[in-house]
Structure 1
C-alpha cells in the first residue's frame, strides 16, 4: 500500500493539494463535460475504454490508469491530496473535475454511490442556466445570496462571478460537499463566497435577495443525499426548501428552484403544493417545465407505479 487507499471517500480531505491539482489541470488545458450516469456506464463499457489514456479519461471518465500515464507533478498532487485509489496493478482518481462557465469544478467520482457523494452532472448545468437567466433579468444589485444544498457550489460561484461585492453563502449539510465547494470557490477566484454547514437555512441568519436551490427529488432506496427527496413521490425536500426559503426572502428577493416533479394522471402535485404555499404567503410565482420527460428509466421502480413521467421544473418566487 502507498498513500493511495483502497476505498475512496466521497471527497478527499486535503483542500490545499486539491486546489493545486485543479490549477495544474487547468494549466494543462483540461476540460470535461460530465454526462448522466447511464451515458457514463455505456461509454465506459466499450472495450476501448477499459483503461485511461488521457487526462479526461482519468479525471472525467473515472477510468483506471497506469501511473506512468500522468505527469509526475500531477501524480504527486493526487497522492498528497489523498485522491488516489488502488485498482489492482492500476490506479484510479478519487475525484472528478468538470467544466462549467469557464471554470473547473471538483466533485465525486463515477459511480456516485456513496450516501454523501458530491453531485455534479447535466442537472447542475441546467440549474445554473436557470439561475443565470434570472440574474440577466434582475434590475437591482444583489447584496446577499445563498446556494441552499450547494453540492459542488457551482450555482453560488457563478452568482458570485457576476455580483462583485455581494455576500454569497454556500450551505449544505454534507461536509464532503462543503470541502468541494470551498475548493471550487478558490479555484474560480471568487471573493465574498463562504461555505457554511447548515441544515437548509436553519443555521444561517438574516434574509436574502436571492435564494437558489437544486434539491433532490428522486425516490432513492439507498437514500443518497444528492438524489433522495423523500416525502410523497420524492417531493418532500423540494417542498421543505420552498417553505423555508420563502420565509427568508428580503423585499424584492427571489427564490430560484430547479428540481423534478412526478406527474400523476396528468396532474402535478408538487406544483399544486407550491401554489398553496405561495398563496398563503402572498408571493408572486412562476413555474415552468424545463424538460417534460427526464429520468424515464426511474419509472420502472415500484415507488413510481402511479407516475407517468418525471418533469424537470423551474420555480421562481418573488416577494414584492
Structure 2
C-alpha cells in the first residue's frame, strides 16, 4: 500500500540521537510496560531497586545507574541527545522508553514533575487498544468510509497517531499538541518506527489546522491538577473541561461517516457521572450515532485523597465513540 508521505521531518541533532537510542534499544529486544506513578513509586522504593542493573532499570524505571553499566557508545549517544544527568558518582536518564506492541516510544522520565512533561502510562495502553479495535480488520471502521485523514488531539508522545499510521499507512495523520516537547517526542517516535505519514503540528485542539477528518482521536488529561501540568490538568470541574472542549471542537470537523474516538476519565460523585448527561444534550440530533462505555470503573484511586476530590467516589476510565451520519 502506498504511504501518503511528505518530505521526511527534519530532526535536530539531539532528536536524531534519540531516534538512534530507540533503535538501539529495539535491537537489544528491550521491553518495558509502564505502570501508574503510584506503582512506580512503590516498586522503586524497595531497597533492592535503589540502583539500575539492566536497561529496563535505566530506561523504564528511571533509576540511577553506575558509570560501568552502559557502554561508552550508548553513553555518548545519551550525551548527544542531552538526556544524561550526572548525580554525584552516578547517572540518570532524562527519558523513559515504553513498549507499545512491537514498537518502542520515548517519553519523559519518572517522576514527571516538569510543567511540559510528556506522560505515557496505563491510560495510553487503553487508548491504543481502543484505536486498534476500531481499526482492526472487520472492525467498526471497515463499515464506514476509508480513513484518509486523521488527527490525534493532544498527541503527547504520539501513541494514538502512530497506531493510526501503522494501521492505515495510506492516510495522513496529524499529531497535534500545544506542548513543543510532546511534538518532538511524536516526531522522534514516528521516525524510529519507520513511519512517514505522521505529521506533528502545534495546535490548540483543532484551531490551527484546516479541513475535515475521517477519524479524530484524543486521550486528554482529566485530573484536577493544582500545578496545572499540561499532561495532567483537564481543567473545568474536576478535570472535565478539556474532554468537553475536544468534543465541541471535533464534531463540526468530522466528515460524513467520520468518527471521534475519545478516551478519557470522569470523576463520579454521589450525583453520578457528569459527562454522560452532558453528551446526551449535545448529541440529541439525528446526524450522530454515539456509544458510551466505562472501560474501568476505578482508576487512580489515590487521587481521592487530594484536595478537590473530597466528594468524589471514584474516577472511571471511559470511551466515547461519536460518528457523524450526515
The reply to whether TM is greater than 0.5 is: yes
Given that 1:197 and 1:203 are in contact with CA atoms closer than 8 Å, whether structure 2 keeps it comes out as yes
How much has 1:191 moved relative to structure 2? 2.1
Distance 1:278 1:186 in 2: 38
TM-score (norm 2): 0.92
Given that 2:146 and 2:214 are in contact with CA atoms closer than 8 Å, whether structure 1 keeps it comes out as no
Q: Unaligned stretches of 5+ in structure 2?
A: 1-11
Q: How does 1:164-183 map to 2 (within 5 A)?
A: 164-183=169-188
Structure 1 residue runs of 4+, over 2 Å off? none
CA root-mean-square deviation: 1.3
2:203 counterpart of 1:198: yes
Aligned residue in 1 for 2:279: 274
Aligned residue in 1 for 2:292: 287
Distance 2:128 2:226 in 1: 27
2:315 counterpart of 1:306: no
TM-score (norm 1): 0.94
2:21 counterpart of 1:21: yes
Given that 1:201 and 1:244 are in contact with CA atoms closer than 8 Å, whether structure 2 keeps it comes out as yes
> Relative to structure 2, which stretch is displaced further, 31-40 or 133-142?
133-142
2:302 counterpart of 1:297: yes
Distance 1:256 1:100 in 2: 19
Deviation by residue 1:64-85 (Cα, 9 ceiling, x = unmatched): 0112110221111001110111
> Relative to structure 2, which stretch is displaced further, 291-300 or 53-62?
291-300
Given that 1:262 and 1:310 are in contact with CA atoms closer than 8 Å, whether structure 2 keeps it comes out as yes
Query: Does the residue aligned with 1:247 lie in a helix, a strand or coil?
Result: helix
2:191 counterpart of 1:186: yes
Aligned residue-pair number: 309
Aligned residue in 2 for 1:78: 78
Q: How does 1:48-67 map to 2 (within 5 A)?
A: 48-67=48-67
Distance 1:24 1:281 in 2: 51
Aligned residue in 1 for 2:110: 110
Given that 1:299 and 1:308 are in contact with CA atoms closer than 8 Å, whether structure 2 keeps it comes out as yes
Sort the Cα spacing of 1:246 and 1:201 in 2 relative to 1 into closer, same or farther, 3 A. Answer: same
How much has 1:302 moved relative to structure 2? 2.6
Distance 2:120 2:197 in 1: 23
Query: Of 222, 233, 247, which aligns to 1:242?
Result: 247
Distance 1:240 1:191 in 2: 29
Distance 1:280 1:240 in 2: 19
Sort the Cα spacing of 1:13 and 1:114 in 2 relative to 1 into closer, same or farther, 3 A. Answer: farther
Aligned residue in 1 for 2:121: 121
Given that 1:262 and 1:270 are in contact with CA atoms closer than 8 Å, whether structure 2 keeps it comes out as no
Query: Of 312, 317, 320, which aligns to 2:322?
Result: 317
Distance 1:287 1:179 in 2: 32
How much has 1:281 moved relative to structure 2? 7.8
How much has 1:164 moved relative to structure 2? 1.8
Distance 2:285 2:86 in 1: 55
Query: Does the residue aligned with 2:207 lie in a helix, a strand or coil?
Result: coil
Distance 2:62 2:307 in 1: 31
